[in-house]
Amino acid sequence: MTATATDQATDRAIDRSSPVAVVGTGTMGQGIAQVALVAGHPVRLYDTAPGRAKTAADAITARLDRLVEKGRLSAGDREAATARLAPAETLADLAGSDLVIEAVLEQLDVKQRLFRELEDVVSDACLLATNTSSLSVTAIGGALRVPGRFVGLHFFNPAPLLPLVEVVSGFATDESAATRAYDTARAWGKTPVRCADTPGFIVNRIARPFYAEALRVYEERAADPATIDAVLRECGGFRMGPFELTDLIGQDVNEAVTRSVWESFFQDPKFTPSLAQRRLVESGRLGRKAGQGWYAYGDGDERPEPHTAAPERAPVAVAVAGDLGPAAALVELIREAGIEVRETTPHVSARSGYLELPDGTWLQLTEGLAATSALRPSLIHFDLALDYREAGRIALAPSGLAPHDGLAAAVGLFQALGKKVSVVRDVPGLIVARTAAMLVDFAADAVSRGVASADDIDTAMRLGVNYPVGPIAWGESLSASWVRALLEALHLEYPSARYAPSQALIRRSETQKASRP
């Protein structure tokens, strides 16, 4: 976008001299108020509990003091900001606000009642916004006399630090209101993305497989939480594994979001919650805040180590049969490790390329089927990596008939490439591959349904949950055909609609096939 266009867009934002009101003074409310305050607005805080708005204002002032101490805010700016911050005793005190953002309990009737009351206080030109993360923006706005000026502004916690804001248009939201909200968030230094009112919006909708696939692998006893976390971090490139991340979020919070999205999609199998997580919540093991979740957080408790194979001798040579697809970079890495690479003709039964070890064992990137389901008994699957050169760990899944010498050679081969190796139980799609494929499919489906643009989805997933790459971009690098084939194989292994590829992914893969010379 040109500088001129940017200036014009910013002109549509709420003017900095205009008051912004925040209703609800919990963690999110305080964070949003701080963002608006630092951006230059007069900010009014309101809470139904007597005295809570004053307490919140004091807490925000204390955080601004810490920013001054750290050199991130000047003393003068701090004084000006605190002068603009005012607790409100009644909703009537919010009259004259040009923007009101609600951050109260996630209960539909509570939010609807609040906004009906606000409509009697503010002008019809005032932009009304909800910070809901799980409720329908359309349903909340449906109670309003002027629903067109109602929009979702979903900040991420902690709001002053995380850049992403989902700007959600309900069914009745005017385009001008969504644009005004978008430009205001951008003027506040945030990175806004637009999305339609769909369960979970962008991030909480598309992120479900990151948790769900790890939980399913665990439920099948293919690997323990520490190993699954390590593989997704060190091989998949994710900043945190799903078990440690849900412990941080709170198991009850994460499970509630999953259940809400599942119920909102009329119990679609793709969003089915985990029984293992439900049992964890029922036991009170809610994560760090409870001192126990998937991991223990008491004094002296140590994080369990992931399963890591003992050192093995690398083979002196391997044969490459056919195209390794997304794992093609391994060939050069093997050569760089001083291991001879020979080329051989793929066996007629091979569905894709593979490495052949000296004893005849095949080492193949997972295709979605369990290794034991394949026709060849001497087969070991390895997992997908975001970047095989940078990956610090790889997961291997041998078939039930794979020879010990073949497995030892496979372990030694990857160790020679500088990778730690986790040998897991033979599970279809392994860990990273099935997770990545589902994320790609969810994202493609969301684009096709008009939830958000491809660029906004990738931006949201990178900034909202720190994914190493956006799922749309990841799908492009893997190819829609590869992702579709892996999901179709998973669908054969688990015959339900959970892994059936979306029509959007199928169309994309067919387009790719048609475009090949």
Structural domains of the chain in order of their starting residue, each with its CATH number:
3-197 (3.40.50.720), 317-423 (3.30.750)
Cross-strand partners of 20: 43, 99
Q: What is the pairing mode between strands 85-88 and 43-46?
A: parallel
What is residue 258's predicted lDDT score, i.e. its pLDDT?
Answer: 96
Cα torsion 249, 443, 438, 152 to 10°: value is 30
What is residue 351's predicted lDDT score, i.e. its pLDDT?
Answer: 86
Question: Which residues lie closer than 8 Å to 219 by C-beta, 6 or more apart?
Answer: 274, 275, 276
Q: Which residue carries 């956006």 as its tokens?
A: 470
CA dist., res. 81 & res. 57, Å (int): 11
Tell me the CA distances in angstroms from 97 to 44, 150, 169, 487, one per residue in order: 8, 14, 21, 50
Asked if residues 417 and 337 have their Cβ atoms less than 8 Å apart, the reply is yes
Q: Is 213 a catalytic residue?
A: no
102, 119, 154, 255: which one is catalytic?
154
The SS3 of residue 22 is strand
Q: Is 133 a catalytic residue?
A: yes
DSSP state for residue 165 in the 8-state scheme: E
pTM listed for this prediction: 0.94
Tell me the CA distances in angstroms from 363 to 324, 408, 416, one per residue in order: 10, 12, 15
What is residue 1's predicted lDDT score, i.e. its pLDDT?
Answer: 33
Residue positions counted in the chain: 517
Q: What digits encode the pLDDT tens for the residues 359-417?
A: 999 999 999 999 998 777 899 999 999 999 999 999 999 999 999 999 999 999 999 99
Q: Residue 110: name the closest of 87, 139, 86 by CA.
A: 139
Q: Is 466 a catalytic residue?
A: no
What is residue 517's predicted lDDT score, i.e. its pLDDT?
Answer: 66
Q: What is the pairing mode between strands 354-356 and 362-365?
A: antiparallel
Helix, strand counts (H, E) of the chain: 20, 15
User: Tokens for 12?
Assistant: 């549509």
Tell me the CA distances in angstroms from 225 to 12, 297, 304, 310, one per residue in order: 48, 15, 9, 20
The SS3 of residue 324 is coil
By CB neighbour count within 10 A (0-12 exposed, 13-18 middle, 19+ buried), where does 515 fall?
exposed
Q: Is 509 a catalytic residue?
A: no
The SS3 of residue 7 is helix
Q: Residue 499: name the closest of 329, 272, 285, 319 by CA.
A: 272
Task: Write the Ramachandran bin of 13: left for phi over 0, alpha for psi from -120 to 50, otherwise beta.
Answer: beta
41, 97, 131, 133: which one is catalytic?
133
Asked if residues 350 and 429 have their Cβ atoms less than 8 Å apart, the reply is no
97, 136, 169, 204: which one is catalytic?
204
Q: What is the pairing mode between strands 150-155 and 127-130?
A: parallel
Helix axes 242-249, 208-219, angle to 10 degrees: 120
Asked if residues 367 and 489 have their Cβ atoms less than 8 Å apart, the reply is yes
Q: Residue 184: name the closest of 255, 110, 101, 251 by CA.
A: 101
Mean per-residue pLDDT pooled into runs of 10, the chain (517 residues): 36 89 96 97 96 96 96 95 96 96 95 96 96 94 95 96 97 97 98 97 97 98 98 98 97 95 96 97 97 95 96 97 97 97 91 95 96 85 98 97 96 98 97 98 98 98 97 97 97 95 96 79
What is residue 172's predicted lDDT score, i.e. its pLDDT?
Answer: 97
What is residue 259's predicted lDDT score, i.e. its pLDDT?
Answer: 95
Cross-strand partners of 150: 128
166, 234, 356, 367: which one is catalytic?
166
What is residue 516's predicted lDDT score, i.e. its pLDDT?
Answer: 72
CA dist., res. 509 & res. 507, Å (int): 5
Cross-strand partners of 458: none
Q: What digits encode the pLDDT tens for the residues 136-164?
A: 999 999 989 999 999 999 999 999 999 99
